């Protein structure tokens, strides 16, 4: 292994420690180790480790030597991976903003509670960032430029950020003269997990070309393409990219359908239209004589080609048209079907709120239960629960349940799946929980056979109720680890373990493409917000969107059931009751 690779790991560890506001001497130790390793006159640090020479290098201590040893032996650092798991992904993304280092990001996080790039941009715009000590207006302006640079450099953004941008832009366009209606289309409307551009469809009172030209002249527009027609592509000063499709109110429904896509779905609908003597062209549906049909909404468009309405999330050319023709479309899950959340953290590990505050947040969202599933003891990086802390937390949960009405707090745990497939804690400790989420948080570099065997073994543990974020991906940041997902879904269906659709917008894991495979195997899905604060409970909406995209219905999802049914399923897994 080259010393530069080791130094890079040390720099990342130092950055993440600084993001979290850790002891400055500890941070300095890793930065010093990075410098010391970089200065080594060798291309192969393995030999120096074998010969014991590294122990003589000034700046390398026991902790950093341990990291080097693990890197040489396994190719990864479990400490670095654990720090990544414990650090909000949005804070890590902020490190890519020019001029914004880890200490400033920590100060912003501590002072404003900001955890995403989008929230950071809002704080820079509305004055909150400038008001922080040692920041000011110039820093806020610099941050806005940095966010714009980040957007321009990266083709894709997360759905949650794109949706927030789209809502802001939709409202701005709706205020323009001559605009009657604006709707979000494209991959955002289809709820794709990552998004390239914002697509807006604009119904115009004035001529569509006039409205498009006015949009292109907007003060926030850096440049525009196609301003002479009714469709215009805009690049804004903040880096956002917008495709605006301007049309008349009479042609709005067809224009909205076309702008929503996907291209493969459109092709199939065009083929069905042609088979019925219809053509879809220029935002119109025309019969054989060329007469334009009246299409006031998308439902009418689908009826014209002999189909029931197809929800936008399904429009990916993955069999939805055939299913519609056969009357076999799923009755997709709704947000209102969710009755509780099971993957939630509190201050007992790496959350920011008390058990009572998390319970109040769940109650405010209309749920009847919340499960507190803090990290287990192996997750020392996230303040994983010791056996003593478990007892203390359970006593607090009992007190909260006695004091609150309308909400029930369940005793869960997110237990690490260890490298050999064992689930963290002994049996007598696991027996104390109402349910167990088992998750991989380390050793992501295992090959597919080893990682799959690791997860399959964990599914055999009767304490495991849910397999957490099953592929470990972080969208736009970390690829899924090597895993035979089909084998895992098959085993989960056989054992009765629910597989999580983690609703954190950085994860959205299980991928929607595998949701259909899970459904076909009768494998239960749990939608978990992975909330570390009451605000994080709103992640549930992102998970429901992906569940819909994956063809899931209410009965496919564990937490559409009452608390007692969830608990009965966990007890059945342990062999103490009949199947729930």
Measured between its terminal Cα atoms, the distance across the chain in Å is 52
Asked if the 3-153 domain carries CATH number 3.40.718.10, the reply is: no
Q: Beta strand pairing status for 369-375 and 408-416?
A: parallel
Residue 360's pLDDT is 97
Where in the chain do CATH 3.20.20.140 domains reside?
A: 335-573
Residue 153's pLDDT is 66
List, for residues 129-162, the tens digit of each pLDDT value: 999 988 888 888 888 888 877 776 666 889 998 9
468: helix, strand or coil: coil
* Domain at 155-249: CATH code: 3.30.460.10
| Gap between the Cα atoms of 89 and 94, Å rounded | 9
Tokens at 369, concatenated: 């239960």
Question: What's the Cα-to-Cα distance from 388 to each of 200, 220, 393, 394, 429, rounded to whole Å?
Answer: 54, 56, 9, 10, 11
Give the list of residues 6+ apart from residue 332 with CB closer than 8 angstroms, or none: 311, 313, 314, 547, 548, 551, 552, 553
| Gap between the Cα atoms of 158 and 354, Å rounded | 29
Residue 87's pLDDT is 82
Residue 305's pLDDT is 97
| Gap between the Cα atoms of 562 and 525, Å rounded | 15
Where in the chain do CATH 3.30.460.10 domains reside?
A: 155-249
Where in the chain do CATH 1.10.150.110 domains reside?
A: 3-153
Residue 235's pLDDT is 85
Tokens at 52, concatenated: 């014991």
Instruction: Give strand pairing partners of 437.
Output: 414, 466
List, for residues 514-524, the tens digit of each pLDDT value: 999 999 999 99
Residue 577's pLDDT is 54
Q: pTM for this structure?
A: 0.83
**How do the residues of the chain divide into helix, strand and coil, expressed in percent and rounded to 5?**
50, 15, 35
List, for residues 259-281, the tens digit of each pLDDT value: 999 999 999 999 999 999 999 99
List, for residues 22-37, the tens digit of each pLDDT value: 888 999 999 999 898 8
Tokens 């693990």 locate to 70
- List the pLDDT tens digit at each of the 580 positions of the chain: 777 788 888 988 999 999 888 888 999 999 999 898 888 877 778 888 888 888 888 889 988 999 999 888 888 888 888 788 778 878 888 888 877 888 889 999 889 988 888 889 889 989 999 999 888 888 888 888 888 777 766 668 899 989 988 998 999 999 999 999 999 999 999 999 999 889 999 999 999 999 999 999 888 888 888 767 899 999 887 778 899 999 999 999 999 999 999 999 999 999 999 999 999 998 999 999 999 999 999 999 999 999 999 999 999 999 999 999 999 999 999 999 999 999 999 999 988 899 999 999 999 999 999 999 999 988 766 678 999 999 999 999 999 999 999 999 999 999 999 999 999 999 999 999 999 999 999 888 899 999 999 999 999 999 999 999 999 999 988 889 999 999 999 999 999 999 999 999 999 999 999 999 999 999 999 999 999 999 999 999 999 999 999 999 999 999 999 999 999 999 999 986 555 5
* Domain at 335-573: CATH code: 3.20.20.140
341: helix, strand or coil: strand
Tokens at 182, concatenated: 């604006």
Residue 580's pLDDT is 54
Residue 209's pLDDT is 94
Where in the chain do CATH 3.30.210.10 domains reside?
A: 260-329
Residue 215's pLDDT is 92
Residue 91's pLDDT is 86
Residue 154's pLDDT is 64
Q: Is residue 206 within 8 Å of residue 169, measured between CB atoms?
A: no
Task: Tell the CATH topology of 260-329.
Answer: Beta Polymerase; domain 3 (3.30.210)
């Amino acid at each position: 292994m080259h010393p530069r690779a080791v130094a890079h790991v040390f720099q990342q560890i130092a950055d993440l420690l600084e993001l979290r506001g850790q002891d400055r001497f500890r941070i300095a130790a890793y930065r010093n180790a990075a410098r010391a390793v970089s200065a080594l006159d060798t291309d192969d640090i393995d030999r120096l480790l074998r010969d014991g020479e590294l122990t003589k290098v000034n700046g390398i201590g026991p902790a950093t030597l341990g990291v080097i040893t693990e890197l040489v032996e396994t190719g990864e650092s479990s400490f670095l991976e654990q720090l990544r798991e414990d650090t909000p992904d949005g804070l890590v993304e902020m490190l890519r903003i020019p001029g914004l280092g880890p200490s400033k990001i920590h100060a912003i996080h501590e002072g404003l509670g900001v955890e995403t790039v989008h929230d950071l941009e809002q704080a820079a715009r509305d004055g909150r960032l400038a008001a922080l000590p040692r920041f000011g207006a110039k820093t806020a302006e610099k941050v806005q430029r940095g966010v714009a640079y980040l957007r321009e450099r990266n083709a894709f953004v997360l759905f949650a950020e794109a949706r927030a941008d789209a809502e802001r832009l939709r409202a701005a366009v709706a205020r323009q003269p001559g605009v009657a209606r604006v709707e979000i289309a494209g991959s955002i409307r289809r709820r794709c997990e990552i998004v390239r551009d914002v697509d807006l469809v604009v119904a115009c009172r004035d001529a569509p070309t006039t409205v498009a030209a006015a949009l292109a002249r907007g003060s926030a527009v850096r440049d525009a393409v196609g301003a002479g027609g009714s469709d215009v592509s805009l690049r804004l000063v903040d880096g956002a990219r917008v495709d605006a499709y301007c049309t008349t109110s009479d042609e709005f429904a067809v224009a909205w359908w076309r702008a929503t896509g996907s291209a493969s779905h459109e092709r199939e609908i065009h083929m069905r239209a042609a088979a019925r003597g219809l053509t879809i062209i220029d935002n119109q549906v025309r019969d054989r004589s060329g007469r334009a049909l009246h299409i006031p909404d998308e439902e009418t468009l689908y009826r014209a080609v002999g189909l029931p309405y197809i929800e936008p999330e399904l429009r990916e050319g993955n069999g939805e048209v055939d299913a519609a023709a056969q009357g076999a479309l799923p009755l997709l899950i709704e947000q209102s079907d969710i009755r509780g959340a099971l993957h939630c953290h509190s201050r007992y590990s790496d959350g920011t709120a008390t058990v009572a505050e998390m319970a109040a947040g769940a109650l405010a969202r209309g749920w009847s239960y919340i499960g507190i599933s803090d990290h287990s003891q192996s997750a020392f990086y996230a303040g994983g629960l010791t056996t003593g802390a478990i007892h203390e937390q359970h006593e607090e949960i009992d007190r909260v349940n006695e004091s609150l009405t309308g909400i029930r707090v369940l005793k869960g745990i997110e237990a690490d799946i260890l490298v050999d497939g064992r689930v963290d804690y002994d049996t007598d400790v696991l027996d104390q929980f109402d349910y167990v989420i088992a998750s991989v948080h380390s050793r992501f570099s295992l090959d597919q056979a080893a990682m799959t065997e690791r997860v399959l073994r964990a599914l055999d543990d009767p304490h495991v109720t849910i397999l957490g974020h099953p592929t470990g991906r972080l969208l736009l940041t970390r690829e899924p680890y090597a895993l035979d997902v089909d084998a895992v879904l098959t085993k989960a269906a056989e054992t009765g373990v629910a597989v999580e659709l983690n609703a954190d917008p950085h994860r959205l894991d299980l991928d929607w493409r595998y949701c259909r495979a899970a459904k076909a195997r009768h494998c239960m899905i749990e939608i978990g917000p992975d909330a570390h604060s009451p605000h994080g409970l709103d992640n549930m909406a992102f998970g429901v969107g992906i569940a819909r995209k994956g063809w899931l219905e209410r009965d496919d999802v564990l937490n559409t059931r009452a608390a007692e049914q969830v608990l009965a399923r966990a007890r059945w897994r342990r062999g103490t009751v009949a199947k729930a």
